[in-house]
């Protein structure tokens, strides 16, 4: 066992503390959907995989919106967010990098991240721009917005 | 009637309520046709050439995309390479075809994207970037391919609704499909096509015209009771009497 393996469980727990204190208002979920048409972007849609990105105790990760300098210099779209640090998987917890980069996605699958929080109360779809895995103790994601998800229909037709 | 009951190309109003998307019949038909033709012509050689590369066991056209293959699209939708993508491109020009019919001239871009740049793939498969435009050109000239819909003649009504289609140019090599050059390097060829679509009325949109009789009365404006009835009679079915008869 390496030092990194020893530290991951501790980091997993430490990174959950802000969530426990209620200061991580956004949740992030990785979703893979499949279209069954013979040609691209056609056919009925079905959900293949849905994985919540969480730290210990189911607490959400840190989500930060790109600031003006990053938007101006980084060539990224307005509304882009950075997710992480995300604790890499270890025995008993963490998030696999395969989940973050949708390794399970096959040809023609749709890969999105659903982000829910104060700015997106009904959720918003994001696409992956960059996934950093060059640090042994954390992964970082850069996501850019696609659009708000439609509001779920109320039961019994009540507004 | 609250609809135009007309079509331009195969895009017809009213729309078919059963479809969940706004249709582009020409795009769908062309994409299927070109994918079928390229796979039929190049499958065997592609299998041999791609053996041992990341494209091994793939078809010459592994997936199709009815959109521009920009980075945002491929970040959401995982393509299979080689990818064939087709989309309308640039402005469409509208002009009179006849006094009552209008035509639309439109350019398209057909992208054949082989793979992210792998030197082994480049060595073995780069030549396919020349074959693909040649196949497209021949398929257009022959208006179809034996591998698609049993070789049925394409482009007419119900087959995309194109009055004319021609290949304008092609350009192949290494290309970036990224924002301002920061995307990955791909081996690709882009073929520019130009189509003509003509509008018309949907069959059955008007009752059949059998004939008409026009009768004009001559009326003095100030003497409403003094008029000459049937001063002029026009009849579309009138057959003049033979010459010299009473």
Q: Is pLDDT of B96 > 70? A: yes
- Tens-digit pLDDT profile for residues A31-77: 999 988 766 677 788 888 999 999 999 999 999 998 877 777 766 67
DSSP helix/strand/coil, A14: helix
Are B59 and B43 spatial neighbours (Cβ–Cβ below 8 Å)? Answer: yes
Give residue A54's pLDDT: 95
Are A34 and A75 spatial neighbours (Cβ–Cβ below 8 Å)? Answer: no
- Tens-digit pLDDT profile for residues B141-196: 999 999 999 999 998 888 888 999 999 999 988 776 655 445 567 889 999 999 99
Quote the CA–CA distance of A152 and A134 in Å, as a whole number. Answer: 38
Helices (H) and strands (E) in chain B, counts: 4, 9
Measuring CA to CA, which residue among A142, A144, A146 is closest to residue A124? Answer: A146
- Select the highest-mean-pLDDT range: A10-14, B197-201, B241-245: A10-14
Q: Does A128 touch chain B (CB under 8 A)?
A: yes
The reply to whether omega before B89 is within 30° of 0 (cis) is no
- Tens-digit pLDDT profile for residues B50-74: 988 888 899 999 999 999 988 888 8
Q: How many interface pairs between A and B have CB atoms less than 8 angstroms apart?
A: 51
Q: Tell me the Ramachandran region of residue A62: left when phi exceeds 0, alpha when psi lies from -120 to 50, beta otherwise.
A: beta
Quote the CA–CA distance of A109 and A97 in Å, as a whole number. Answer: 18
Give residue B150's pLDDT: 93
Give residue A75's pLDDT: 65
Buried (b) or exposed (e) across B13-42, using 16+ Cβ within 10 A? eeeeeeeeeeebbbbbbbbbbbbbbbbebb
Rounded (10°) CA dihedral A41, A44, A48, A50: 90
pLDDT band at residue A158, thresholds of 50, 70 and 90? very low
Tell which wins on pLDDT, B25 or B121.
Answer: B25
Token pair for residue B115? Answer: 């793979």
Select the residue of A75, A105, A146 nearest B78 (Cβ to Cβ).
Answer: A105
Q: Is pLDDT of B41 > 60? A: yes
CB contact under 8 A, A127 and B75: yes
Give residue A157's pLDDT: 40
The residue among B24, B64, B65, B77 with the most chain A CBs within 10 A of its CB, best to mutate, is B77
CB contact under 8 A, B67 and A41: yes
Give residue B45's pLDDT: 94
CB contact under 8 A, B63 and A106: no
Q: Is pLDDT of B246 > 60? A: no
Cβ partners under 8 Å of residue B106, min gap 6: B88, B90, B92, B93, B194, B195, B196, B197
Which of B132-136, B155-159, B241-245 has the lowest average pLDDT? B241-245
Q: Is pLDDT of A155 > 50? A: no
Cβ partners under 8 Å of residue B237, min gap 6: B211, B213
Give residue B219's pLDDT: 82
CB contact under 8 A, B77 and A110: yes
CA A19 to chain centre: 15
Q: Is pLDDT of A14 > 50? A: yes
Q: Does B76 touch chain A (CB under 8 A)?
A: yes
Quote the CA–CA distance of B90 and B62 in Å, as a whole number. Answer: 27
Mean pLDDT within A86-114 = 92
Mean pLDDT within A15-41 = 90
Residue with tokens 């040609």, as numbered in its chain: A39
CB contact under 8 A, B78 and A106: yes
A 54-113 near B (Cβ less than 8 A): 75, 102, 105-112
Measuring CA to CA, which residue among B124, B113, B114, B115 is closest to residue B52? Answer: B124
- Tens-digit pLDDT profile for residues A117-141: 998 898 999 999 889 999 999 999 9
Buried (b) or exposed (e) across A90-99, using 16+ Cβ within 10 A? beebbbeeeb
Give residue B17's pLDDT: 66
Give residue A156's pLDDT: 40
* B32 to chain A, closest Cα gap in Å: 8
The predicted model scores a pTM of 0.79
- Give me chain B's average pLDDT, please: 86
């Amino acid at each position: 066992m390496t030092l990194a393996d020893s530290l991951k469980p501790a980091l997993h727990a430490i990174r959950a503390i802000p969530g426990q204190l209620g200061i991580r208002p956004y949740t992030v979920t990785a979703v893979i959907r499949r279209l069954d048409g013979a040609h691209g972007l056609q056919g009925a849609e079905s959900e293949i995989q849905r994985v919540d990105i969480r730290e210990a105790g189911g607490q959400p990760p840190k989500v930060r919106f790109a600031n003006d300098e990053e938007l101006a210099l980084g060539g990224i779209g307005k509304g882009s967010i950075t997710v992480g640090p995300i604790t890499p998987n270890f025995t008993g917890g963490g998030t696999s990098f395969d989940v973050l980069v949708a390794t399970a996605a096959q040809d023609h699958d749709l890969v999105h991240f659903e982000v829910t929080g104060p700015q997106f109360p009904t959720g918003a779809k994001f696409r992956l721009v960059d996934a950093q895995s060059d640090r042994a103790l954390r992964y970082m994601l850069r996501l850019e917005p696609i659009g708000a998800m439609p509001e779920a229909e109320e039961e019994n037709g009540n507004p | 009637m609250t609809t135009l009951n007309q079509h331009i190309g195969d895009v017809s109003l009213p729309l078919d309520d059963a479809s969940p998307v706004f249709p582009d019949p020409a795009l769908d038909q062309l994409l299927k046709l070109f994918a079928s033709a390229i796979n039929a012509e190049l499958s065997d050689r592609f299998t041999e050439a791609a053996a041992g590369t990341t494209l091994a066991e793939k078809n010459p056209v592994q997936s199709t995309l009815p959109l521009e293959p920009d980075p945002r699209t491929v970040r959401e939708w995982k393509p299979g390479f080689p990818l064939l993508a087709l989309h309308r491109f640039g402005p469409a020009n509208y002009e009179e075809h006849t006094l009552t019919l209008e035509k639309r001239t439109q350019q398209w871009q057909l992208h054949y994207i082989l793979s992210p740049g792998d030197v082994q793939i480049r060595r073995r498969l780069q030549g396919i970037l020349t074959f693909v435009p040649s196949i497209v050109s021949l398929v257009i000239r022959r208006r179809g391919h034996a591998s698609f819909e049993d070789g049925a003649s394409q482009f007419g009504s119900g087959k995309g609704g194109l009055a004319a289609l021609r290949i304008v140019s092609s350009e192949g090599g290494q290309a970036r499909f990224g924002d301002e050059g920061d995307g990955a390097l791909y081996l690709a060829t882009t073929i520019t096509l130009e189509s003509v679509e003509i509008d018309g009325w949907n069959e059955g949109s008007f009752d059949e015209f059998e004939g008409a009789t026009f009768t004009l009365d001559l009326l003095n404006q100030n003497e409403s009771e003094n008029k000459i009835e049937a001063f002029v009679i026009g009849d579309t079915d009138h057959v003049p009497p033979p010459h010299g008869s009473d």
